[in-house]
Amino acid sequence: MPYFVYLIVSKNKSKKKVSYVGYTGDLKKRLDLHNSGKGAKFTRGKKMDVSLL
């Protein structure tokens, strides 16, 4: 099974850029989890608009 490494770049409440690196076997499902606020601990509960570049 192939895995994907991905990078999320966003801005936090103070408009400072933040980044997060993760890996997954199902990229679409993982991005959906991040966008729903149920992703990794770092992004959980934060409003981040995550999309693929």
pLDDT in tens, 37-51: 888 887 777 776 666
In a domain, 42, yes or no: yes
In a domain, 1, yes or no: yes
Q: Contact 30/51 with Cβ under 8 angstroms?
A: no
Question: What is the total count of domains within the chain?
Answer: 1
pLDDT of residue 52: 67
pLDDT of residue 5: 94
pLDDT for residue 30 is more than 80: yes
CA-to-CA separations, 11 to 4, 5, 19, 24, 47, in angstroms, rounded: 23, 20, 8, 23, 10
- Whole-model pTM over 0.75: no
Token output for 16: 């400072």
pLDDT of residue 24: 94
Q: Contact 7/25 with Cβ under 8 angstroms?
A: no
In a domain, 51, yes or no: no
Task: Give the Cα separation of 20 and 43 in Å (integer).
Answer: 8
In a domain, 5, yes or no: yes
Helix (H, G, I), strand (E, B) or coil at 34: helix
